[in-house]
Structure 1
Amino acid sequence: METLPKFTVLSFLIFFAIAANAGSNFDIVANLDNGPGNVTVTDNGRIIMSMHQFYQPKYTVVEYRDKVLVPFPNKELADVDSKAALKLDSVLGIRFANGIVWMLDNGMRSGVTPKLVGWDTKTNKLHQVILLPSPIAPKDEFVNDFAVDTRHNHIFISDPAGGANAALIVVNLATGKVRRVLEGHTSVVPENVDLVIYKIPVQVKDKSGKLIRPHIGVNPITEDLNNEWVYFGPMHGLSLYRIKADDLIDEKLDAKVLASRVERYSDKPISDGITIDKDNNIYLGELAANGIGVISADRKYKRLAENSNLSWVDSFCFGTAGQLYAVVNRLHQSATLNGGVLKAKPPFYLIQVKALAAGLAGR
């Protein structure tokens, strides 16, 4: 049998690799050795990522710079083994707005009080720290993602907690006051739906060693570019909800009235982080399908891409030129979500998605 010349084989492999991604609506920007958490982009194009605590990273926040990862904001604070007074322990949620990189530290690796940390990228100094003590963030908290509202000077945090006690946390950046709202509401608690990826269910071990299929509450959250509507929903849920930011920040509204202001917005698949563009298209990862989808302004969902490389798309963020970044971290193959067995192997990915419209850098 005749053997193809080396250059022909190489050409075929290159062609096959390109064809595999053809029409997929995404490109791989970087191969990563460890699993990323969330991603944000500054107004001058710096790409900042949290590294997911399920993979026990050395640095909890990093910057992707010149094709390598460097600790952010510096080695002392990003190093989880550091003895620094303001050690970042377990950052997942991360967003940029008005010169500040906001980092949401759930504190779960060391059992410390969760906190919201703002770092000023213009002065390269600490901007603000807001603690989230119990009962604002209860013992079973998992403060995860958030939206920054620059018009109202607030931050809205999703906390899936233990499921039944899932809630949103409202942070007033001017006063530092924090409130836990909508706890146990239909819009934040998980639905009774399992996540199964390629016929393998996501499973965790409970304290007795029994394997169970987790149902996780509110996780995805974002806000439109006019800072009018906050969109959110349970990760294990097939509905996306929204509420006006004006209602969330109104401290005079009692729980029942606030709950009455929530509206079901659209269908959605089981999903992790989300973001939104200027035309109110909402992007998300369709976890069960290894895909990326979008909820358009007419409230209809469609899949944009499906590919084996999209193995748990966790977080989205727009860059300075309208490009849409996302991370892929294979969380279902982490020991935490795979019954105690680590199956995930690098590379993990930073990708760029072909968005339908431009968005706001950092969101």
Structure 2
Amino acid sequence: MKISVKLLLAAGAALSLAACATTREGASAPRIEQVATFDGAMPTGVTVAPNGRIFVNFPQWGDNAPFTVAELVDGKAVPYPDAATNRPDPADPAGHFISVQSVVADGADRLWVLDTAAPKFSQPRAGGAKLVAIDLATNRVVKTIVLPPSVVLPTTYLNDVRFDLRQGAEGVAYITDSSNDGVGGIIVVDIASGRAIRRLSNHATTNPEPGFTPVVDGAVLMNRPADGPATPVTIASDAIALSADGSLLYYGPLSGRTLHAVPTAMLRDPAVSEEALGRAVRSLGRKGASDGIAEDDKDRVFAGDYENNAIRVLDQGRWTTVVSDPRISWPDTLSIGTDGYLYFTANQLHRQPGFHGGRDLRRKPYELLRIKVGAAPVLLRSR
């Protein structure tokens, strides 16, 4: 995979798009800066570690990515932690990456890798769906949690993850299941023991919103295979974030426009019934259709809006548009760095062949962009 990467060395070297970037409210929009470009496989995830290191991932959706996790180093995307770990091994599915959907840096200087084990959205491979922690000081794998069939269903597609290291002996992870078959849910993992439970499975708020019809690039987005009828896009719980104090988990389906919140203490407690948990969920309004959200230390939630080429923010109970620009072509994963910037991939996901009768309408390069938001990430460290 040929990948051309341009890292910003200073704000003055960034590409300014202020002339065309706007907000819906008419206010001055932040400048969009290009961090990197990708000429090979399409990226989805991005995360910025506390020390500024940037990691991205390339799920195995059909672009034949030679590696599925990478670090941006000296202007190049380099397989991380090494090439060998990025080569699937049927004899050792837990020890090698298969198809990574998300990478997230935590507050303990680790990179967590969420491996779907479901290339091309297949049924997850036995023993391969996992969370992998890599120590950023040594660049070595220090923990692998293989997720059991009780939480990884045949229809499961692991999507995104957040961590609160203050809970339990080593912390807890929250994972969204964005099943393409519409059976969504939240997976809660105790990091110390590896025990996992599935919550809000097939709940109305983790499933696609009824009647959802997205319009992207001026056209209704539908599954349009080369050799079959068009069908609605029904993708379940996808975007996920934590409140600044860790008390609330934010989430929403990709096929929907509403943000939901649920108390994390109830999610973690298996004694809380699904009925009681469902009653505790509350709506936080229409954020727009999102493939990714991110939280900051000011208790704001940022969300991509793929229908409007935009980034939006929930601040003090009100949703507003931060910036809207044609360059924000399907904002996927969002990540806030300690430098006060919001980073996000713009990967033209909606232009893939499966949505256009087999025609690939993506135009390379894909981009990693950022905007200044003047906040820090939420890093819920252990005490």
Q: Which AA in structure 2 matches 1:31?
A: T
Matches within 5 A, 1:271-310: 271-298=290-317, 300-310=318-328
Change (3 A) 1:225 1:349: same
Change (3 A) 1:19 1:346: same
Give me the whole-angstrom Cα distance separating, in 1, the residues matched to 2:280 and 2:186: 14
Give me the whole-angstrom Cα distance separating, in 1, the residues matched to 2:239 and 2:310: 16
Could you tell me which runs of 5 or more consecutive residues in structure 2 were left unpaired when the two chains were aligned.
1-14, 23-27
Aligned to 2:253: 234
Does 2:97 correspond to 1:88? yes
TM-aligned CA deviation for residue 132 of structure 1: 2.1
Give me the whole-angstrom Cα distance separating, in 2, the residues matched to 1:16 and 1:284: 21
Aligned to 1:350: 368
TM-aligned CA deviation for residue 193 of structure 1: 0.8
Aligned to 1:77: 85
> Is contact 1:232–1:242 with CA below 8 Å preserved after alignment?
yes
Give me the whole-angstrom Cα distance separating, in 2, the residues matched to 1:219 and 1:339: 25
> Is contact 1:71–1:79 with CA below 8 Å preserved after alignment?
no
Q: What does the per-residue CA deviation read over 1:192-240, in whole Å, with 9 as the maximum and x for residues that have no partner?
A: 2122112222222469722212121110101022211110111111211
Matches within 5 A, 1:299-338: 300-338=318-356
Change (3 A) 1:62 1:137: same
Does 2:288 correspond to 1:269? yes
Aligned to 2:185: 167
TM-aligned CA deviation for residue 252 of structure 1: 1.4
Give me the whole-angstrom Cα distance separating, in 2, the residues matched to 1:251 and 1:100: 28
Give me the whole-angstrom Cα distance separating, in 2, the residues matched to 1:147 and 1:340: 34
Match of 2:145 among 130, 136, 149: 130
Change (3 A) 1:16 1:257: closer
* Local SS of the residue matching 1:36: coil
Does 2:79 correspond to 1:64? no
Q: What does the per-residue CA deviation read over 1:223-278, in whole Å, with 9 as the maximum and x for residues that have no partner?
A: 02221111011111121111111111112112112222211122221111110111
Could you tell me which runs of 5 or more consecutive residues in structure 1 were left unpaired when the two chains were aligned.
1-14
TM-aligned CA deviation for residue 53 of structure 1: 2.8
> Is contact 1:163–1:190 with CA below 8 Å preserved after alignment?
no
Give me the whole-angstrom Cα distance separating, in 2, the residues matched to 1:81 and 1:66: 29
Give me the whole-angstrom Cα distance separating, in 2, the residues matched to 1:259 and 1:53: 34
Mean Cα deviation higher: 50-59 or 301-310: 50-59
Aligned to 2:4: none
Does 2:205 correspond to 1:187? yes
* Local SS of the residue matching 1:258: helix
> Is contact 2:225–2:356 with CA below 8 Å preserved after alignment?
no
Give me the whole-angstrom Cα distance separating, in 1, the residues matched to 2:163 and 2:176: 12
Match of 2:113 among 103, 107, 110: 103
Q: Which AA in structure 2 matches 1:87?
A: H
Change (3 A) 1:17 1:227: closer
Aligned to 1:221: 240
Matches within 5 A, 1:2-21: 19-21=19-21
> Is contact 1:99–1:120 with CA below 8 Å preserved after alignment?
yes
Structure having the larger proportion of residues in helix: 1
Kindly report the root-mean-square deviation, in angstroms, between the aligned alpha carbons of the 2 structures: 2.5
TM-aligned CA deviation for residue 123 of structure 1: 2.8
Give me the whole-angstrom Cα distance separating, in 2, the residues matched to 1:187 and 1:159: 12
Mean Cα deviation higher: 163-172 or 88-97: 163-172
Change (3 A) 1:73 1:332: same
TM-aligned CA deviation for residue 51 of structure 1: 1.3
Give me the whole-angstrom Cα distance separating, in 2, the residues matched to 1:44 and 1:149: 19
Matches within 5 A, 1:112-127: 112-113=125-126, 114-127=129-142
Change (3 A) 1:84 1:167: closer
* Local SS of the residue matching 2:361: coil
Does 2:30 correspond to 1:30? no
TM normalised by structure 2 equals: 0.84
Mean Cα deviation higher: 127-136 or 327-336: 127-136
Give me the whole-angstrom Cα distance separating, in 2, the residues matched to 1:21 and 1:184: 38
User: Identity of aligned pairs, percent?
Assistant: 27
> Is contact 2:180–2:234 with CA below 8 Å preserved after alignment?
no
TM-aligned CA deviation for residue 24 of structure 1: 4.4
Q: Which of structure 1's runs of 4+ aligned residues deviate more than 3 A? A: 15-24, 79-85, 205-208, 336-339, 360-363
Aligned to 1:53: 60
TM-aligned CA deviation for residue 128 of structure 1: 1.4
Q: Which AA in structure 1 matches 2:74?
A: D
Mean Cα deviation higher: 236-245 or 128-137: 128-137
Mean Cα deviation higher: 70-79 or 23-32: 23-32
